Structure 1
Amino acid sequence: MRYFLLWFLSLMFAMMSLSFSKPARSQSNSPSQFPDSQRYPDSPSRNPSSGGFNPLIILNLINSLSRSGNNDQQQVDLSPDIAEIRGQIGRLYFLLARQYAAQNQLPQACNALEKGYGAELEAYLHKRMRSLNPDSDDCYASEVQRISQLTGSPTALIYVTTSKGGLELIGVPPSSPNKPAGIFSRTRIGAKSLQEKFGLPISQTNQSNGTPFRKVAYNVTTEEVDRVIIDFRNNLRDTSSNDFLPQSQQLYDWVVRPMEPELEKAQVKTLVFVMNGNLRVVPPAAFHDGKRYLVEKYAVVTIPSWQLTEPNRPDRALIPQILAMGLSESVEGWSPLPATKVEVETISSQVLVGKTFMNSAFTKDNLRSQISSQNFGIIHLATHAKFVKNSPQESFIQFWGDRLQMNQISKMNLVTDLLTLSACETAVGQNLGLAGLAVDSGAKSVLASLWTVSDAGTAPLMIRFYRGLPTAPSKAIALQEAQLAFLRGEVTIKNNQIIGVKGFPNIPFLIDTRGVDLKHPFFWSSFTLVGNWL
């Protein structure tokens, strides 16, 4: 049965790749309204028979594969064969989302994207995941509005997906006080019957707080985006130049600029991205509009998916207890990290309150015993780490004389509001690795680096981030403030001291800081926040 389904699936993908290669374009908006209208037209209302693929066929195939793919909602380990089927289901959901979006059925497209990201992570982790949030009938616009009011920072949810058919954006802004509810039903084609048949929610016009919108760049393929991302990351490593700016501006033009009119209208201050592929390994904060970095306008966070995230805000009046652990000495051939000692001891004793375990005390047993005996709001690990794109078995966090593999992380039960991997010397977050860590660790959110980071540059960033965290409206805004403090030259390293940390005395820092210019985005944009940003 499995081989028949996989054969049938490959045939379906071949057919659908032809169907989606050149979607119909909208002619409804004038160039004056959307200057880039030829690349980012609004989505058309399209009947499946006019060149698309009937969602009913895709849903039937998903249901067939689900019956053979262990559709139990319990969190259980999957065999490689079943995980492979979950991956195929994920691809089908992305195709389904594309078809719904082309018909302007944006709530249905969002729900399909959410299921696609969930199935993709299940295939990567070889584990069924529990959904933390149900399907939405408004692309989570009601939740976006709730969070905007809670934080005082108007927030927008942005889905970004690349494919051979082009780059697609679905934006969900917060509502304005007198803004009418969004209307989705006028352009839906057979939506009610499909949703009733398969038990998916039906959008109601009076239940939408924001008005989700769609933009498509049909001539921007995954391959083109990946080429720019590779150049961007490579050029960022040269801290003596701004050679990264052309790629930074190109990514801004693709991912952010098409949405700017809606974002500005809603006075958005926080962007929550759900992205696929290699877009997960670039920092949107370092995108550049030609005059300013994105971080100068927005706090930025990425989430694996909304359904796998719990956007709840902890009590900011309580100073969180922190468990800070790390390596400053060389172990197992890794280079020493002398700045981690200053970082860990300063954070745990002067910035926050907590416990410290360094070097030989930084063991898995000590981590396990501490979290079993006490609840920590923050777990901070300053060490080496490696997250491999397609292999959780090869991904690990380095401890003293031992490694914690990613497929063992869930067994550690790291239940905390924030897990920080202040990981130096090796990249963290390759594609699904960081998203998988955020979902599987037990932590509500993860702060980790996207590339090989500087030991000397990381300690000041972490100290500044934690200094502002207790009073910031959200973790995302605390990170934004720390990044801006670097970019604006407020926090610097001078005369063997870290100076300029808000309301904090100068910190002795007897570390080699040659070539460290904290204004360069290599230093301030290397860390990204994944998961609950509140």
Structure 2
Amino acid sequence: MGKKHIFIYLILIGFLLTTSIPLTFAQDTKPDFLEGPGLRNSLDLGNFAEAVDRIEKDWEEEFQAYFKEDFAVRSKTVDEISKTLARLALQTKKKPALIYVIPRADQLELLLITPDRPPFRHSVLAAKRDTLIAVVQEFISEITNLRKINTTSYLNAAQQLYQWIIAPLELNLQLQKIDTLLFCVGGGLRTLPLPALHDGQRFLTEKYSLARIPAFKFTDSNYADIRKSQVLAMGASDFSNFSQQQPLPAVPLELKTISQTWPTQSFLNKDFTVVNLQSERLRQRFAIIHLATHAEFKPGTPNNSYIQFWDTQLKLNQIRALGWNNPPVELLVLSACRTGLGDKTVELGFAGLAVEAGVKSALASIWYVSDAGTLALMTEFYQQLKTAPIKAEALRQAQIAMIQGKVRLENGALQSSRGSIPLPPDLVEIGNQNLSHPYYWAAFSIIGSPW
């Protein structure tokens, strides 16, 4: 074994040991600011600076307690957030807004922050927490019910949620020509498939680029153009070493299509190891890491959740020690995620993925989409990423292409903006497939920075 490989193994042993050390966080004995009168008093008095500061602190404590990490990030004031959004609008030519969505027992609170404007607050009295969460659960249940894949059974819930969360802010968004929305949401909403909210005419993703963030203080607001970046693409189609995992026959084609569009180093099946991932990152800088494999966000502690490699499962609480912030990874793509819906700890793991991994942005799915559907979206996403000014816009354009039927399975091939791509035999057997239903595209979210 060469010195280089010994060094890499030592790195891996080191992070496995360090991530196993338990950290203890003091129990928060303060009254619940978000549920008590404190938040309402701040909002009623127009003291938005205090309200945002406390919202960010409360949610920071939630994520730190779950990950057992002190992220030690300085808070930003409302004025600083607004100025940051204004700077990014100039840099990217995409005008963003930040929406805090705070479910409370007696009402839903919305707080909108836009570039160089005072914050706007709206309370939705009809959307009491229990009522709101019941509609969210119905919405997800209808979208993911494969027996209803040829229906629009999800629309009633999609439109109700739009009326509660988006409609009260719509006039402000239109007047200020906002086209990118960052959602910072409370418990029960962190795995809400936001792209599929519906105004009666169009899906939300047809109107805005979208991203979900755990807190603005965790969001990397530096803009970098990644359109000429290197991609490290890895994955597995066969999981014979892990009998509980289903094969992913589309993965070889998924990696191949990426390499045809982007400068790429690819590793498939037995070469898809943590050792190879780390050695490649030591060899050269990759702004994009694409992992075409099973990833599961499970209830309980972070070490219950994992990314599946060929020979091991990389636990969620081990990712940070891989050092993906040095050199910085602009985008981590997990193309075959499965999320245990309806669990608070799962929500924290999913929504906190980017900050815990130390990457600027992550693209992941709330539920596991079919192998063919994932191939379709990823192929179109990487095609759009070559020209889109920001990552969230590339995802939006890929989702729109699927909604409009421009991306579909037809005559043994994937039809997309790249043209016709022949499918492997396992996927040819599926036959023609329309991928416009939100089951196929609404699960995918940008987590962290949309830029």
Which residue matches 1:47? none
Structure 2 residue 28 is the aligned partner of structure 1 residue 118: no
Structure 2 residue 231 is the aligned partner of structure 1 residue 325: no
Q: Check the 8 A contact 2:362/2:446 in 1, yes or no.
A: yes
d(CA) in 2 for partners of 1:513, 1:438: 34
State the shift of 1:373 in Å. Answer: 2.3
Which residue matches 2:406? 490
Q: Check the 8 A contact 1:489/1:519 in 2, yes or no.
A: yes
Task: Decide which of 399, 403, 425 is 2:313's aligned counterpart.
Answer: 403
Alignment of 1:367-406 (within 5 A): 367-406=277-316
Q: SS at 1:249's partner residue?
A: helix
Structure 2 residue 338 is the aligned partner of structure 1 residue 431: no
Structure 2 residue 222 is the aligned partner of structure 1 residue 222: no
Partner deviation per Cα, 1:484-532 (whole Å, 9 max, x = no partner): 111111122111111232xx24211121435842111111111100111
Q: Check the 8 A contact 1:328/1:338 in 2, yes or no.
A: yes
Structure 2 residue 90 is the aligned partner of structure 1 residue 149: yes
Q: Output the TM-score relative to the length of structure 1.
A: 0.74
Which residue matches 1:262? 172
Which residue matches 1:475? 391
State the shift of 1:163 in Å. Answer: 1.6
Which residue matches 1:158? 99
Alignment of 1:135-534 (within 5 A): 135-138=76-79, 140-174=81-115, 209-237=116-144, 238=146, 239-316=149-226, 319-331=228-240, 332-333=242-243, 334-347=245-258, 349-415=259-325, 416-424=329-337, 430-501=346-417, 504-510=418-424, 511=427, 512-514=429-431, 516-534=433-451
Partner deviation per Cα, 1:283-326 (whole Å, 9 max, x = no partner): 2111001111111111111111110111221134x511001111
Q: Check the 8 A contact 2:296/2:337 in 1, yes or no.
A: no
* Count of residue pairs brought into register by the alignment: 419
Q: SS at 1:153's partner residue?
A: coil
Partner deviation per Cα, 1:452-509 (whole Å, 9 max, x = no partner): 21111011111111111132111011111111111111122111111232xx242111
Shift in CA distance, 273/169, structure 1 to aligned 2, threshold 3 Å: same
d(CA) in 1 for partners of 2:337, 2:363: 13
Which residue matches 2:51? 109
Identity across aligned pairs (percent)?
36
The amino acid that maps onto 1:335 is Q
Q: Check the 8 A contact 2:409/2:431 in 1, yes or no.
A: no
d(CA) in 1 for partners of 2:393, 2:309: 30
Unaligned regions of 5+ residues in structure 2, if any? 1-18
Structure with larger Rg: 1
Q: Check the 8 A contact 2:339/2:350 in 1, yes or no.
A: no
Partner deviation per Cα, 1:7-41 (whole Å, 9 max, x = no partner): xxxxxxxxxxxxxxxxxxxxxxxxxxxxxxxxxxx
The amino acid that maps onto 1:157 is L
Q: Check the 8 A contact 1:90/1:115 in 2, yes or no.
A: no
The amino acid that maps onto 1:173 is T
Q: SS at 2:389's partner residue?
A: coil
d(CA) in 2 for partners of 1:518, 1:234: 18
Q: SS at 1:119's partner residue?
A: helix
The amino acid that maps onto 2:139 is F
Q: Check the 8 A contact 1:445/1:532 in 2, yes or no.
A: yes
d(CA) in 1 for partners of 2:304, 2:61: 21
Unaligned regions of 5+ residues in structure 1, if any? 1-75, 175-208
Alpha-carbon RMSD across the aligned residues, in angstroms, is 2.3
Q: SS at 1:281's partner residue?
A: coil
Q: SS at 2:190's partner residue?
A: helix
Partner deviation per Cα, 1:61-107 (whole Å, 9 max, x = no partner): xxxxxxxxxxxxxxx9996652543xx56944665444312321112
More relative contact order, 1 or 2 (CA 8 Å, 6+ apart): 2
d(CA) in 1 for partners of 2:270, 2:171: 54
State the shift of 1:413 in Å. Answer: 1.5
Q: SS at 2:216's partner residue?
A: coil
Q: Check the 8 A contact 2:296/2:338 in 1, yes or no.
A: no
State the shift of 1:137 in Å. Answer: 4.3
State the shift of 1:270 in Å. Answer: 0.9
Q: SS at 2:346's partner residue?
A: coil
d(CA) in 1 for partners of 2:261, 2:188: 35
State the shift of 1:391 in Å. Answer: 2.0
State the shift of 1:249 in Å. Answer: 0.7
Q: Output the TM-score relative to the length of structure 2.
A: 0.88
Q: Check the 8 A contact 1:90/1:119 in 2, yes or no.
A: no
The amino acid that maps onto 1:141 is S
The amino acid that maps onto 1:520 is H
Q: Check the 8 A contact 2:298/2:339 in 1, yes or no.
A: no
